[in-house]
Structure 1
């Protein structure tokens, strides 16, 4: 009997994402994220499918994304939990919580601070591609607009913890404030900050967040 819930990793290759987002040292970041994502989905024990740029179908982001979700439903799964590769704070607990919420809700979301979402859980009978195409994708209004529409139509949904995506160099500053972030990831984020257009901001940030100890580890994380 097929497991009713599957994970969709909708993410491009590390090289492509680094180029499209124009993030300094981005390939190293996304390589790290890819390794971490594979570890997380394996820990969840849920079947997973990675759909990158070579397997995506559609003329724009929203069509490619929604087609990928439909592809998983077409395989026989009744619930899909979709995640991306740009949210370092994503843990296996978020995936498992989403899976539990789908037992009693039509959808669940992991909100990101930019107005979008890093996780979307949805049941097959609630997935209407043409309706979702009408939302303002890739804008700060996306999730508020979706939630407003769901509320208006009395669709049951829930949300889990809000996290930060890395969409630009400046997001690295916000992510570095999270004390629970892996040390290796901190080193990568510091490289991104160092290579940003305003390097003086780096030193202001370090002074405020007391990350001076990172400088004294063998092999400076700020080295290129």
Structure 2
């Protein structure tokens, strides 16, 4: 990686589960294979954005995360980035379909004059967290009620006495309805949108085809049914 181009001494931390593990907990498709492909695409999206930002980035999935709770894992991951010599960290997840390169660039720019950056979502969480080393407090950060609707509230309380910048509010993918809603909002020519919709369409076609076969079979069975004495 080209650290020389990073004038503000910041790094991106992509903190996310692998596609295989994520697909078991958040299921947007009907099959395991489709869920794996969906989350592989979402992981690729956030990594591509990180790469295009020209900011040093590190990917931490379950294979390198340390700790037993989410709070412990994300805290350890951030501290490990500081230990590499960086003064601030931009944390990204893999479940914000609306995330764009411009959001990351803005967060990176605002970290020059602010110690804390939050990208709030519509469910009380955050799709991006930027935090400088000088205000990072391990115990307080680890104690945030992660993976709840109180995350944003806790983050705002954490940074109450620091200079903070809020990014535009976006949707995180917490359920199938939100996934479909955000997917429909993407630009018509979005390659990711076309790919994900194709996956879902193929799956729906197979599902409805099987349903139609089952319905036809049941109707035929009812049509030719008769009293028990006529069957034997």
The verdict on a shared fold, with TM-score over 0.5 as the criterion, is yes
1:175 to 182, 186, 211: 182
Secondary structure class of the residue paired with 1:103: coil
Flag the structure with larger Rg.
2
Partner of 2:126: 117
Deviation readout 1:10-44 (Å, 9 max, x if unpaired): 01111110102233232222111222222211211
Deviation readout 1:21-79 (Å, 9 max, x if unpaired): 23323222211122222221121101100011100000011111111011100111001
What aligned pairs does 1:135-214 form with structure 2 within 5 A after superposition? 135-151=144-160, 154-180=161-187, 182-189=190-197
1:165–1:177 Cα change, 3 Å? same
Instruction: Give every structure 1 segment of 4 or more consecutive aligned residues whose post-TM-superposition deviation is greater than 3 Å.
Output: 189-196
Return the alpha-carbon distance in structure 1 between the equivalents of residues 159 and 44 of structure 2.
34
Number of matched residues? 196
Q: Does 1:7 align with 2:16?
A: no
Q: Does 1:55 align with 2:64?
A: yes
Q: Which runs of 5+ in 2 are unaligned?
A: 208-232
Q: Which runs of 5+ in 1 are unaligned?
A: 200-224
Return the alpha-carbon distance in structure 2 between the equivalents of residues 173 and 193 of structure 1.
12
More helix by share: 2
Secondary structure class of the residue paired with 2:144: coil
1:89 to 89, 98, 114: 98
Partner of 1:208: none
Return the alpha-carbon distance in structure 2 between the equivalents of residues 147 and 184 of structure 1.
32
